[in-house]
Amino acid sequence: MGVRSARPGGDFSKAPRPRGAWIARNPAVPWQGHACYTPAMRKSLIFMRNSLVALGAIGLVAFLVFARPGGLSGDDGRTRIQLWHPWGGPMLEAYQRNIDAFNAARDDVAVRGLYVPNDMSSNQKFFTAVIGNCAPDVIFVDGPQVAEWAERGLLLPLDDLLREAGYDVEQLRSEFYAPCWEQCVYRGNVWALTFCADPNFCFFWNKNAIRSGIAAGDIDAAVVDPERPPATVAELDAWNRAVTKARQTSTGPQLERLGLVPWGVYGNANSIFTWGVAFGGSFYRDDPQAPRVTANDPRNVAALDWMAQYARQYGYGRISSLQSSFGSAEQNPFILGKQVIQLGHLSMIADLEQYAPDLEVGMSPIPQGPGGEPNPAWVGGWTLAIPAGVTDPVRRRAALDFILWSCASNEGTSLEVRTSRNLPAWRPSPFFAEVRARQDEPRMRRLVPFLDILETSRYQRPVMPAQARYMDELSRAVDRVVRGDTNPATGRPWTAEEALREATQRTQRHLDLMLERSRGQR
């Protein structure tokens, strides 16, 4: 309330000057003179100044107390290398145990891990680090990104380094699951090794929800047998028809229970890619002279047509409003029995264990589409690579050793599973024998269908640059078709063929521009 008591215009020149009040030191300069400041103003100015000084002092002390000489120099003779990894949050500590184990096993190398996430849409930090010549020595790269980063000259090819280190590249190749190796090979070179294999996806169904639906008489037991999953897309359609349930409200029908929403497979882009493969489609033809984007392969078109058919049948708006009412974890509509069928990622196992330990679920391969093969799952996953610009051979070697230890050693791959619950991409890992030996545990049993995918799958995302653009365009095409948007060119709703053709053209253009640029530079 000090401000109120001040009387502007009063004579304050006789007031005792507060100690250290330099603000009011010079009476010759009018705006610094005593007369301009009421005691209250002066007080608050002094308070502000003192606060600043105090803050500065605290900052300095904190800096001196907490700042430690960091950096990569050590006096213990170890080669210190830096690793950027994407494992943050609760995963950070778990992943750090991998780094610690490597450091404990080696007395000549020390890895320092830093959480610097990157994905298709946030790799700016890494790019600027490479240009600025301060890239790390090892980096995690999302599998589908490897080709683009290689094409843009951001990574070192590993072939010669592997050979120099005494590895037989062909031998190593045979030890990795095929898609995990293939996603790292671009233009004849190996650019990375796969750290964790992501088998995408398994077909999950909620047995409890289906059984109670049958008991309540709103699911036809003649169509849906909770012990016998659909093997083909046609059988899946029958399941979907049988399990979908709607309720009338004053503002129209509202869906209460759904089957498998075809575009609900971890986003539009993953959905069309997964169903495209299930229908036998291909997305890219890797011709070194003229690589072709083939999103509009007739089988992909058939897959998108099928997805759109589902949207028309049950109403896109109703489906999406049901879906948007739920989230992840315990809010997962699958766990709540609102969406009784789902294509699930490996992480479903941990989610089920944590949020619905008593839920009975069935697991089987993705149903086979017309024109496709049985179990049409594909494999992705994080890889480890060495950024371009790591020129010191000692550091290169240290980086390569860390990569090999992480991705292709008994100790590294076993630890990986225990700390972060990822699956190794390396066949000889002792973990796989362990899974088969511990089939009495539900978690281990549920892993088997995913391991089957690793054994049999021949598919990964197309190994090509422009992947981020491709996924965006695929996502747009799915959105247009399943929602029934109007194509401005024809005045009618987008057909699957039109939408995928446009996705093809736009991605192809982007790809050509990028290749022309990077080839022109060489």
Partner 1 sequence: MKAERELALGLAFISPILIGFSVFTIYPMVASLYYSFCSYDVLSPPRWIGLGNFRELLTDPLYRKALWNTVSFTVFAVPVTIVTALALAMLLNLKLRGQALYRTIFFLPSIVPIVASSVLWLWLLNKDYGLINFALRPVLGLLNTTFGLSLEAPGWLTSPEYAKPALVLMAAWGVGGSMILYLAALGDVPKQLYEAADIDGAGAWHKARHVTLPMISPVLFFTLIMGLITTFQYFAQPMVLWPNGAPGDSGLFYALYLFQNAFIYLRMGYASAQAWILFLVIVVITVFVFRGTRRFVYYGGEA
- Interface ranges with partner 1 (CB under 8 A): 120-121, 124, 127-128, 130-131, 152-154, 250-252, 254, 267-268, 317, 320-322, 324-325, 468-469, 472, 475-476, 479-480, 483, 485, 488, 510, 513-514, 517-518, 520-521
CB within 8 A of 354, min separation 6: which ones? Answer: 329
Q: What's the min distance (Å) between Cβ of 251 and partner 1?
A: 5
What is the closest distance, in whole angstroms, from the C-beta atom of residue 224 to partner 1 in the complex? 25
Choose between 359 and 514: whose C-beta lies nearer to partner 1: 514
Cβ atoms of 282 and 317 closer than 8 Å: no
Kindly state the smallest distance separating residue 339's Cβ from partner 1, in Å.
14
Specify the residue, 447 or 464, whose C-beta has the smaller distance to partner 1: 464
Question: Could you give the CA distance from residue 334 to residue 355 in angstroms, rounded to a whole number?
Answer: 11
Q: Which is nearer to partner 1, 154 or 404 (CB)?
A: 154
Q: Which is nearer to partner 1, 323 or 456 (CB)?
A: 323
Per-residue tokens: 381: 């996953």
What are phi and psi for residue 42, nearest 5 degrees?
A: -60, -45
Q: How far is CA 62 from CA 69, 212, 258, in A?
A: 14, 61, 56
Least distance from C-beta 217 to partner 1, angstroms? 25
CB of 328 to partner 1, least distance (A): 13
Which is nearer to partner 1, 110 or 468 (by Cβ)?
468
Burial of 379 (0-12, 13-18, 19+ CB in 10 A): buried
Structure tokens at 315: 């109403």
Nearer of residues 177 and 263 to partner 1, judged by Cβ: 263
CB 330 within 8 A of CB 396: no
Q: Judged by CB, which is closer to partner 1: 67, or 329?
A: 329
Torsion sign across C-alpha atoms 247, 323, 457, 94: negative
C-beta separation of 481 from 268 below 8 A: no
Handedness of CA 439, 441, 445, 450 (dihedral sign): negative
Beta carbons of 473 and 465 less than 8 angstroms apart: no
Min dist. Cβ of residue 49 to partner 1 (A): 18
Residue 99 Cβ vs partner 1, minimum distance, rounded to whole Å: 29
